[in-house]
A and B are shown apart, each in its own frame.
Chain A
Amino acid sequence: MKPLVSVEHFSKSYGEIRAVRDLSFSVRRGELFGLIGPDGAGKTTTMRTLVTLLRPDEGTVTVDGMDVRKQLKAIRAITGYMPQRFSLYPDLSVEQNLRFFAELFSVPRNELTDRMQRLYRFSRLEEFSTRLAGRLSGGMKQKLALSCTLIHDPVLLVLDEPTTGVDPVSRSEFWEILRELREQGVTIVVSTPYMDEAMKCDRIVIMHSGVALAHGTPGELINSMRLPMYALDERDLVMNFSRIEAASGVRSVQSFGDSLHITTDEDIDEDRLSAALEQTLDRPVRLRRIAPSLEDVFIALIEQGTEHAE
């Protein structure tokens, strides 16, 4: 089956700023796909292009086989887009907001009740249906915005950092909902700077400064890096940081509260590392082998990228 979204050699600049450079990826039907990266990575530019709000400078971007340059209306009819600042009407109630967006997307009257019931089921907003949107908590606002985005039953859902600024509990609820939607067959493209959210995606593309650094499943990316990592419980974090950093075979060191995470060169095994550290610190050390996180992978990728550039 053809992918639902196909992005090939896509580039976009704003004046001198090259927001996205030669980006390629595809999203399969029914996939929960993540654009992962910090501010300035090019995530929003890519998403706006997917939903036909921006035109690519170069490359080809299609949604369900339709070109974003040419078939704007048809693409908009099958996509739901939730920008970072989604405009709900604060002085309308939850239900009035849903009805308003239904009107906007020409949802047939006879289908509206059913759809609202379905949206209420997963958002659990029914008991708040008469509350003004302006008086909802941050997490509930996000759920209402998502519901409004879904009111016309889109095939493709595009969500730009939907959980930024939302508290951790609401975040995890929001991701539960995304998984439910995927079960129902909705294809989702979501952007996030959070690595723990990236882990919840089927596949991701990691972006930095407009460039894709890698794509694959989160698991693949972590396994492909072969980053030997160890944790060392250490109280004198700062005092010993530079000494450990300078020890032979150590690539990088990171403090985490009460421990240090040490990344080593590939050919250094645990025994050699602990020997090197014992010599440096002049006392016995106990290392724990730990798995790298997606953030460690991200950092390694960025560092590789800069090495190549230099």
Chain B
Amino acid sequence: MQNDFAHEVANQRQTDPDLAVSARELTKRFGRFTAVDGISFDVRRGEIFGFLGANGAGKTTAIRMFCGLLPPTAGEAQVAGYDVRTQPRMIKQTIGYMSQKFSLYEDLTVAQNIEFYGGIYGLTRPQIEHKTGLLLDELNLRDRRDTLTQSLPLGWKQRLALSVSLLHDPSIIFLDEPTGGVDPISRRNFWRIIYEIADSGKTVFVTTHYMDEAEYCGRLSIMYQGRIIEIGTPGGLKEKYGLDTMQDIFVHLVGGDTRKEAKQ
């Protein structure tokens, strides 16, 4: 009964261009272990959505389904209007992914990284050259074009990684702990760009362990043992629980149970 409902809602969603991500009873099991246990939520176009959870909560599995890398066991999900089960290739072309740690090749130069990723994303050579010029200007990196990426300051690397993940003009961008360990000024500058990206209509989907990153999101979900146990705006959640920080809320909701998790 509930499943029928999920189907209907899902089919109807397909035509709603304002939804970037839509999950209905999305489930993934590995053998007898249920990693993602019937999660349902929507992310609207242009939202900055934080996807939080402790280790082993099922975040990574859910993200891999959203990116079309892992088919669901049950339930539905659409990303940019494409079905994760039947249209994973379309999804891969429509999404961008950035992780502070893994995105760039440290032993390639700035220009080579742009060229490399441009190639991966299927841009033509003239397109790559055009984009390279634009990016170098935009990031003020023209002088550093032939500098090895590893010698860039962390804040710049992060900006470059973000730009590279946007090369193919994705409509949704997944950010994995984008500003961990970065100094607060670089972090704030980075988030200012993220707000501009979201304002231009792209959807930003953030996974993070860092609760100070979570504070920047427009809306947040908290996953625990495969389920979404809370969802709302940072301000709304703080009011609801009478707590001052997302860290306190997270610990309040998920805390005191890590021993159970470890025993599994």
Contact = CB atoms under 8 A, between A and B. Distances in A.
A137 interface: yes
B181 interface: yes
Interface string A33-68: 000011111000000000000000000000000000
Contact of B216 (A140, A233, A257): A257
Interface string B197-236: 0110000000001111001111100000000000001110
A193 interface: yes
A176 to B, nearest CB: 10
B144 interface: no
Contact of B185 (A169, A194, A299): A299
Interface in B158-185: 180-185
A165 B177 CA distance: 10
B135 interface: no
Contacts of A165: 209
A128 B263 CA distance: 9
Given A169-B54, A257-B218, A39 B195 contact: no
Given A196-B247, A255-B216, A257-B218, A137 B261 contact: yes
B247 A172 contact: yes
Contacts of A269: none
Contacts of A239: 199
A40 B182 CA distance: 9
Counting chain B CB atoms within 10 Å of each CB, which of A128, A137, A254, A298 scores highest?
A137
B258 A139 contact: yes
Interface in B232-247: 233-235, 245, 247
Contact of B235 (A40, A41, A257, A295): A257
A168 B262 contact: no
Nearest to A197: B247
B212 A295 contact: yes
A237 interface: yes
A124 to B, nearest CB: 7
Contact of A241 (B186, B195, B234, B256): B195
Given A169-B251, A257-B235, A136 B181 contact: no
A237 B199 contact: yes
A167 B196 contact: no
Interface in A225-269: 233, 237-239, 241, 254-259
B3 interface: no
Which of A39, A239, A303 has most chain B Cβ within 10 Å?
A39
Given A256-B234, A302-B185, A241 B258 contact: no
Given A168-B54, A168-B251, A241-B195, A195 B182 contact: no
Contacts of A134: none
A173 B216 contact: no
B141 interface: no
A169 B154 contact: no
A38 B262 contact: no
Contact of B212 (A196, A238, A303): A196
Interface residues of B, number: 44
B182 A38 contact: yes
B192 interface: yes
B48 interface: yes
B184 A38 contact: yes
Given A39-B182, A241-B192, A255-B195, A195 B154 contact: no
Contact of A254 (B188, B198, B254, B259): B188
Interface string B104-117: 00000000000000
Contacts of A167: 54-55, 209
Contacts of A172: 247, 251, 255
A119 B261 CA distance: 21
Nearest to B177: A165
A238 B199 contact: yes
Nearest to A38: B183
A167 B251 CA distance: 10
B250 interface: yes
Interface in A257-303: 257-259, 295, 298-299, 302-303
B182 A170 contact: no
A120 to B, nearest CB: 13
B250 A40 contact: no
B199 A39 contact: no
A41 B251 CA distance: 29
A259 B239 CA distance: 14
B122 interface: no
Given A139-B55, A238-B196, A168 B211 contact: yes
B258 A257 contact: no
B262 A128 contact: yes
25 contacts: A38-B186, A39-B183, A40-B153, A40-B183, A41-B183, A137-B262, A139-B55, A139-B258, A140-B262, A164-B181, A168-B209, A168-B250, A169-B251, A169-B257, A169-B258, A170-B54, A170-B55, A172-B247, A194-B210, A238-B196, A255-B191, A255-B195, A257-B216, A299-B185, A299-B188
